[in-house]
Amino acid sequence: MKATDADSESAATPRPAEEQPACAARLPVLDASSALLTGCVHCGFCLEVCPTYQLSGDENNSPRGRLRLWRQEAEGRLEPDWWTVKYTQDCVGCLACEPACPAKVPYGEILEEVRHQHHEAGRHLPPLPLRLAAWFAARPRLFSLAALPLRILRRIGLQPHRLVFSGNPAVLESTASYAQRLMAQHRPTGPRVALLTGCLMEAVFREINFATVRVLIRNNVQVVVPVQQGCCGAMHEHLGLPAVQSLREASRDAFLGAGVDAVVANSSGCGLSTLKSLQGQLPVRDVLDFLGEIGVRANPPRATNARVYVDLPCHLVHGQKLAGIPESVLHATGYHWELAPQARDCCGSGGVYNLQQPESAQQILQK
């Protein structure tokens, strides 16, 4: 049920108006973005798809409520306090509200700016472990070296509970080196693409990058892995850290100088961040969507009754605005597959949300 505009006005204000002195120190970006903030028409369609509102029933924990809080701060009608920061950080960032919004409010863009301004104003400092992770992410070689013990543990089969996922990753060889070897062996002649390896993907889940290279080359795609690409800045964006702009610029320069037809990504969050970096100067494609377009070689049916459930990441369908994963690609795996129940619903991971608020993330997943 949608709340009325009057309900949202009261619910989005954490303290009575008489206790809210005028704000002298306004956040510059909120003043500059006031036209964006006034775009919300308070219809309430976002409430039906917002995971934090569905979990808490708190208007402040909805896109409409947050937009109202940010606008009141910008106009000086609400004192900058802990509550606004809390509700800003409580957002998963799934972007399900954007396609639901008839006014086309760019909520994700506003959220990113507000988080950045909260950090710049000293109102929010991410936990030390996440700041360290972001520091390492901006230095891919150090990140990969720091993650080497995890890759070794996974390689020899020692997998501490809730620490790593199962798989058979390469321990030492980089994806760039692996791609060069396979390119020399198979010499594909089709489209030339740059693979976005990602800092976490390359450091911990490198076998997924290897598998991506194999599938692309098997389908006659030339794969280049620019070693200068570095971190895409997604983690820094979620945390509101200022390094995001310099990381995006470095990423843009690396891909524009690669001489490729497109950038392909196997991580929806990193793909979305790279879309923002390149701003239309070079196509950024989800690897499965790209394979569906060029036509993929099919595997024979698997001799198993195993059924594969497919989930659709929020940053793929809401961020990159894709309808889903092409059925031709799913059929080509040779497995029986179907969309997981509630495949389009938020899983609670949203960037670093599952690390910052694991209990809420688990509750969203269970819903």
Tell me how far CA of residue 360 lies from CA of 67, 204, 265, 315, 348, in angstroms: 21, 25, 28, 19, 8
Q: Quick one: 183 and 67 in the same domain?
A: no
**For the chain, percent of residues with pLDDT exceeding 90:** 58
Q: Are residues 115 and 212 in the same domain?
A: no
Q: What is the pLDDT of residue 165?
A: 38
Instruction: Compute CA distances 9 → 117, 181, 232, whole Å.
Output: 24, 60, 37
Task: Identify the domain boundary among 297, 321, 340.
Answer: 297
Whether 52 is in a domain gets the answer yes
pLDDT bin (cut points 50, 70, 90) of residue 27 is very low
141 and 284, same domain (yes or no): yes
Do 81 and 146 belong together in one domain? no
Confirm whether 151 is domain-assigned.
yes
Tell me, yes or no, whether 42 and 191 share the same domain. no
Tell me: pLDDT of 199 over 90.
no
Q: Are the beta carbons of 202 and 229 closer than 8 angstroms?
A: no
- Of 158, 143, 210, 207, the residue nearest 181 (C-alpha): 210
Q: With respect to residue 324, please indicate whether it lies within any of the assigned structural domains.
A: no
Q: Which two tokens stand for residue 259?
A: 């001489």
Band of residue 2 on the pLDDT scale cut at 50, 70, 90: very low
Strand partners, 263: 194, 284
Q: Quick check: is 188 in a domain?
A: yes
Q: 112-136: per-residue pLDDT in tens?
A: 999 998 998 888 888 888 888 888 8
* Same domain as 149, residue 53: no
Q: State whether 222 and 183 are in the same domain.
A: yes
Q: Which domain holds residue 13?
A: 5-120
- The pLDDT assigned to 285 comes to 97
Separation in Å, CA 148 to CA 60, 94, 140: 42, 30, 12
Write down which residue in 88, 120, 152 finishes a domain. 120
Domain presence at residue 160: yes
CA distance 162 to 312: 22
The domain boundary, picked from 297, 326, 355, lies at 297
Higher pLDDT among residues 66 and 20, named by residue: 66
Question: At 351, is the pLDDT very low, low, confident or very high (cuts 50, 70, 90)?
Answer: confident
pTM above 0.85, yes or no: no
* β pairing state of 222-224 and 284-286: unpaired
Cβ-based neighbour number of residue 309 at 10 Å: 10
* Residue 21 confidence (pLDDT): 30
Q: What are the C-alpha distances in Å from 200 to residues 65, 109, 143, 208, 358?
A: 33, 23, 8, 11, 19
Buried b (16+ CB within 10 A) or exposed e, 117-141: bbbeeebbebeeebeebbebbbebe
Task: Judge if 61 and 158 occupy the same domain.
Answer: no
**What's the whole-number average pLDDT of the chain?**
84
Number of neighbours of residue 251 by Cβ within 10 angstroms: 25
CATH number at residue 36: 1.10.1060.10
Whether residue 181 is contained in a domain is answered as: yes
Q: Are residues 100 and 206 in the same domain?
A: no
Same domain, 115 and 139: no
Give the pLDDT confidence score for residue 333 in this predicted structure: 93
pLDDT in tens, 64-100: 999 999 988 888 888 888 899 999 999 999 999 999 9
Tally of structural domains, the chain: 2
What is the predicted pLDDT for the residue at 7?
Answer: 44
- Give a yes or no: residue 305 inside a domain: no
Is 126 inside any structural domain? no
87 lies in the same domain as 174:
no
Structure tokens at 209: 């990058």
286 by Cβ neighbours in 10 Å (0-12 / 13-18 / 19+) ranks as: buried
Pairing, β 262-265 against β 192-196 = parallel
Residues 142 and 286 in one domain: yes
Q: Backbone phi, then psi, for 192, in 5-degree steps?
A: -105, 120
